[in-house]
Amino acid sequence: MPTIERSLVLLKPDAVDRGLIGEIIHRFERTGLKIAGLKMVWPTKEHASKHYTEDLAVRRGQHVRDLMIEMLMSGPIVAITLEGVEAVEQVRKMIGSTEPKAALPGTIRGDFSHVSFKHADSKNIGIYNLVHASGSSEEAVIEVAVWFTPEELHDHKAGYTKHTIAY
């Protein structure tokens, strides 16, 4: 099983609107994760629906899926493909709990967001929690392909030395 993997990260409209793009990317780069792809897009309904698949409707209900699609379409997002040692797990640890009010300090959501599921439900909106990150290696492969063509992904050295991570 390979230890070097890729993970998709989406900086959602709330992260973009609040000017947190650089801060969030900086956190990933400081850990040694490499950016393999990066772009800003304003998702269409079709594109957002490819991301939030019918599987989400099965797990959380169609209403939740519809709210998440609407949230993703509400402004520009930054799509990032990160690469590194067990990148999916590393990224998930860094972003914190899906519900921002439960995210620990030191995580992206814990440091920059505070909304709750209860609040989002009371407003009948999707949860604005700054970032999306792939939940598994298998999910990452599918999600990266939704947001990036093979030509948009790059294999490069990212400032590593023989004293850091050997790729």
- Residues serving a catalytic function are 132
Q: Which of 48, 51, 59, 73 is nearest to 125 (CA)?
A: 73
Region label for 54, one of left (φ > 0), alpha (ψ between -120 and 50) or beta (otherwise): alpha
Question: Distance of CA 152 to CAs 30, 39, 145, 146, 149, Å?
Answer: 23, 9, 10, 12, 5
3-class DSSP assignment, residue 123? helix
Closest CA to 16 of 75, 84, 72: 75
- Distance from the first to the final alpha carbon of the chain: 15
